[in-house]
Structure 1
């Protein structure tokens, strides 16, 4: 499908009217961006506070991760349905309902009385707030035309990359300053404001309730079964030794069968809820792959870094937030730089630079030691944070911008789902890498801890000598020495496993960088100042 520029029949004064219209578009666009920011922020706002939440709800260690996972599963299931829901209820009322539901669910999360209620309310929060994300992506193509799409894409790309990054920082500050329950109460005021302003400001399309009749309800059920069971397998597989567990096997089988039936249904049903046919567009399909990989990078590193700082370094929520603060600041600095460069250079080159820089950052993370803190993490996080908008923003124009307007709503849900699905897959794989490689490195290190190892012998003797003055404590001294030796070995093995996980992410970004040249350039055409505006006709 090619886009042909055709001169409009409108008179030159229409250009001035267009210039005025986009100014009026800023209000609703900004309000919707705030909603998208909050929805993305809440994925990771609990990342540095999971121990506090678990302690407050008397949760077991293996239950705490579901505070994040429940949100992700519900969000991933709902995002691809947002295109169909927008057509049914309109952009205005779907966004309003999504914001209001998210606000109510946030209040319920703050009022949670045990871990089970928290998991249910977090799932509601993710499900009800999910539609805000793809709606903002498609709205940029309605509100902004021509070169101004570079700015709007940069803003949306920045939010998509910065919000999850700032989550642990803001969450750590709130938890240490107030209480972990305020992680959720803080959403109430902006949520109410958005729910009031969107009906007043947003006027893009009209609802079409007739679409509820004859909709692809079997496809919706198959999609929910596929994504829900897949996310469960990814999250719980490592904990239960993957396919050795009957539940994991059953869920994997359901995911595969339901996924196959969903693909067949979507390609044969005349009005599918997800436009899989859009994947026939090369730019869109490559954009989805790149969105998936950037999701792996953004969400996995946000998962790994606080985990390392909390369990290896023993940092508090606030210390963890401050240690990863440089990533968010670098991301914000990268936005105006990207906008400036995008006006002068092919955005495909900028995207290659962003993806390559992210991969370079993962390589620098692989030198991690147990002593790393904020100072040591500073440069790797700058390398990771600054180019995030370079990696995300171009995919909006190059991927979604290559589709005709009537397909954007359905395709945007799939596009955004790929980023969050990449995050879910990345977190699950990184968890498996940490588990398996920690055991591998521990056994490798332990095999060298023999009497022939002088450093080990000296450590055991020094600890044992501390107990020598106490009668009958020689055996206790050796036991204490062995416990300390085990702790040191496990710490080093765990640190080496983190390095392996970062290297695995690096490989993904090397692959992503090599894909970029296959994208076609579909940058917005510039409107001449003294001529009639151009309109795009898709043929």
Structure 2
């Protein structure tokens, strides 16, 4: 009888304990929301200057070659910090790393707004990207530390929405701020939220403690090798398409430095007892394959956000607000599909949801590959909507597959590597896009220009029609004006066809990603693992 009573008591205790495991501390939840806001700021600032570079260039008296470094310096520094954040989080604790990151990001935002020259702007933006870069992976790791398994899907939906929404709305918000106020507000807008985020996280996120003993045997040479490797890689990828790659001596030197530092970095991480970045997470098949999917998603996410505004500006002559209106369709569909993807994760496997997402992304990009130079808002609604839905259907299962089954002690480091693959996907994707775009424009221009010859009846009719039109307008040399118009038309059409080719190439990447799905093991069912 006593044994039965004891067993009953154990059952009651277990039942009482179960609900506690499924709850999230309210204070920590508030801190986590503040961290999500900080992550949004850090990702937003990658693209917020994209539509306002000409304004910044004029304000700082910079050259066209120099102004691109306002974005490049931020990206290089951020890419270096993201994998380093895992080590710093273990050293300082999640709370104090995030607070330092948010505070430093805010201070450098003010400094960027007060920049007096292009040189000072580049240095301030590099510091802003480096300090703010720690906020991104820290949020992903914290999600799996403070939420029980049954609630991780909902939390992942939110951070996935923020991580993909920020680069989508960045150019739109940047264009609005610059037109309504000035380019300085691209950076000053961070001050209020940045201060609030730092204060809230400092007061709430007491989820772990730092380990100062990690400073003993700190791998300084490994840190230096990683910084040189990732920094030179980002430089080569960003500047290569502009300088015809290896036709420029600086790109050759950058590639050599990247290759040598990469070889030393990986050798060091494998051989050193206390590596600054632990690569053993890649021994988990789901994490490794999840990172490949994250890489592909980075190409599609950053590539599509880059290509479509460029197309609309070059071919259609749209301004930043018109482009922002079209891009908003993707954001709206992301918001609508976010809760739907969260619910679907409860009833279908991550592999099934990811399959749907990859197919929708490929179709959305593919539809953009069959458009003409008169494309307008109505023709872009469906491709944009499909892409918005697809982003959330991809982001949530990819995060779940990569991070959802790792032990807590590996989450901080693995989160940095996971986020790094998405950023590298974007960087490599943009380099490939720019190279492909330039090559295809030249190819299609040459092909279309072959039709401009006296033997072509269509050419003769068009030339005569335009010449007569310019003559009626009183143009002094109507024949030359007509030829210039025809050349412009050829340039416009060749550019449009090249953009179609780029969209189809990106769609092909997502088709190839579908081939990798059989490599994914079914992750642990939700709720089967203990809460972190």
TM-score by length of 2: 0.94
Change (3 A) 1:378 1:467: closer
Higher relative contact order (CA closer than 8 Å, sequence separation 6+): 1
Counterpart residue number, 2:145:
142
Q: Deviations over 1:120-172 (max 9, x none)?
A: 22222111100000000000111111211111121122212122112122222
Determine whether 1:223 maps to 2:226: yes
SS of the residue 2:530 aligns to: strand
Who is 1:366 aligned against? Answer: 369
Give the corresponding residue for 1:535. Answer: 530
Q: 1:14 to 1:202 in 2, by over 3 A?
A: same
Residue aligning to 2:388: 385
Aligned to 2:526: 525
Alpha-carbon shift at residue 187 of structure 1 (Å): 0.8
Match of 1:508 in 2: 509
Structure 1: how far apart are the matches of 2:415 and 2:447? 47
Q: Report the alpha carbon displacement of residue 488 of structure 1 after superposing the two structures with TM.
A: 1.3
| 1:453–1:209 CA distance, 2 compared to 1 (3 A) | same
Equivalent residue, structure 2, for 1:530: none
| Contact kept in structure 1, 2:48 and 2:173, CA below 8 Å | yes
Q: Does 1:242 align with 2:245?
A: yes
Matched residues in 2 for 1:195 and 1:394: separation? 30
Q: Structure 1 stretch 208-217 or stretch 54-63: which is displaced more? A: 54-63
Residues paired across the two proteins, number: 523
Alpha-carbon separation, structure 1, partners of 2:284 and 2:22: 31
1:115, 1:311 → 2: CA distance? 26
Match of 1:74 in 2: 77
Question: Equivalent residue for 1:481?
Answer: 482
Name which of 313, 317, 328 aligns with 2:316.
Answer: 313
- 1:463 CA drift (Å): 3.8
Match of 1:398 in 2: 401
Distance across 2 between alignment mates of 1:469 and 1:339: 63
Contact 1:176/1:317, CA 8 A, preserved across alignment = no
Residue 433 (structure 1) aligned with residue 436 (structure 2): yes
Choose between structure 1 and 2: higher helix proportion: 2
Please tell me whether the aligned partners of residues 298 and 426 of structure 2 are also in contact (alpha carbons under 8 angstroms): yes
2:446 maps to which of 440, 443, 446: 443
- Runs (4+) of structure 1 exceeding 4 A deviation are 7-10, 466-471
- Structure 1 stretches lacking a partner, 5+ long: 1-6, 528-533
Q: Distance in 1 between matches of 2:80 and 2:387?
A: 28
User: Could you tell me how far 1:515 is from its partner in structure 2?
Assistant: 1.3
Partner of 2:271: 268
What does 1:108-147 align with in structure 2 at a 5 Å threshold? 108-147=111-150
SS at match of 1:39: helix
CA distance in 2, matches of 1:10, 1:86: 35
Tell me, which stretches of 5 or more residues in structure 2 are unaligned? 1-9
Q: Deviations over 1:357-401 (max 9, x none)?
A: 111111001012222233221110101011211111112221112
Query: Conserved in 2, the CA contact under 8 Å of 1:48 and 1:321?
Result: no
Partner SS, residue 273 of structure 1? coil
Task: Report if the CA contact (8 A) 2:294-2:398 is conserved.
Answer: yes
**Aligned match of 1:4:** none
User: Structure 2 vs 1, CA of residues 28 and 465 (structure 1 numbering), >3 Å: closer, same or farther?
Assistant: same
Aligned-residue offset at 1:180: 2.2
Superposed, 1:19-418 pairs within 5 Å as 19-418=22-421
* Two-structure CA RMSD over aligned residues (Å): 2.1
Tell me the CA shift for residue 460 of structure 1. 2.7
Determine the C-alpha separation between the residues in 1 that align with 2:75 and 2:24: 37
Deviation digits for residues 389-440 of structure 1, max 9, x if unmatched?
A: 1111112221112221111111111111000011111111111111111111
8 Å contact from structure 1 (residues 149, 524) kept in 2: no
Q: CA deviation at 1:22?
A: 4.1
Query: Which deviates the most, 25-34 or 417-426?
Result: 25-34
Deviation by residue 1:69-98 (Cα, 9 ceiling, x = unmatched): 221111111100000011111111110010
Displacement of 1:62: 3.4
